[in-house]
Amino acid sequence: MSKILIVDDEEKIRNVIREYAEFENYEVSEVSNGMDAIVKCKNEDFDIIIMDIMMPKLDGFMAVKEIKKVKDIPVIMLSARSEEYDKLFGFELGIDDYVVKPFSPKEVMARVNVVINRKGKAKSIQENDTFRKKYIFDGLVIDMLARNVFVDKHKVELTPKEYELLVYLVINKNIALSREKILNEVWGYDFFGDDRTVDTHIKMLRNNMGIYRDYIVTVRGVGYKFEEYGEKINE
């Protein structure tokens, strides 16, 4: 049974999410502020966190930042704010999804299920021998087994989603991929997605790749592709 931690200072919101989550056989815990969320995550393991942003004691952004230091738990962020910079900041911290209030609890649970299923799929992929490789493109190195990326021998700190996006593009190198296809394969859904989510992550990923940013090519009217000039080495 998967475990969910609900973090929101509004009891009504916690109650409605709990009701839907328990109906889908999730084990649910809840706290009302970011400080308690950090303590809870240090003492217990969770498969996913549903985290509000505006809370007393410590906001959701800071709570996620602290939690990510000790455990890599998927996070869906809840917020009454829909500004792009809030979403960008959340994705930079490594959150998996962003839901704007007011929201449909059915939609939230659909997103939860997608993240949980994707986590399991990613684990099985990592255990597959065909993915135990190191990709080298000039000074850009992607170590699939260690989940590390290096730019000219310097390790680059990517968010989990940036890493997944880069790997997906590399595995499908030289293939033009639509935004919808990327959204469906990397985020695990198409109906709830937004093309701008892909564009935002491509922008962040390119910034982290430095002089090798041009390996990710924009295909006008379609989406993106990773254009290969270097070589792949198996290990």
pLDDT at 94: 84
Q: Percent of the chain at pLDDT above 90?
A: 52
Domain map of the chain by residue range? 3-126, 129-234
Q: How does the average pLDDT of the chain come out, rounded?
A: 86
pLDDT confidence of residue 3: 94
Tell me the pLDDT tens digit for each residue of 133-146: 888 898 999 998 88
- The CATH classification number of 3-126 equals 3.40.50.2300
pLDDT on residue 159: 86
When pLDDT is cut at 50, 70 and 90, the band that residue 6 belongs to is very high
pLDDT in tens, 58-115: 999 999 999 998 888 999 999 887 777 788 888 888 888 888 888 899 999 999 998 8
pLDDT higher than 90, residue 44: yes
Q: What is the pLDDT of residue 186?
A: 85
- Please indicate whether residue 33 or residue 194 has the higher confidence score (pLDDT): 33
CATH number among 3.40.30.10, 3.90.1300.10, 1.10.10.10, 3.30.420.40, domain 129-234: 1.10.10.10
Q: pLDDT value at position 234?
A: 44
If one compares 190 and 75, the residue with the highest pLDDT of the two is 75
DSSP for the chain reads --EEEEE-S-HHHHHHHHHHHHHTT-EEEEESSHHHHHHHHHHS--SEEEEESS-SSS-HHHHHHHHHHH----EEEEES---HHHHHHHHHHT-SEEEESS--HHHHHHHHHHHHHHHHHHHHHHHSGGG-EEEEETTEEEETTTTEEEETTEEE---HHHHHHHHHHHHTTT--EEHHHHIIIIIS-SSS--HHHHHHHHHHHHHHHGGGGGGEEEETTTEEEE---SEEEE-
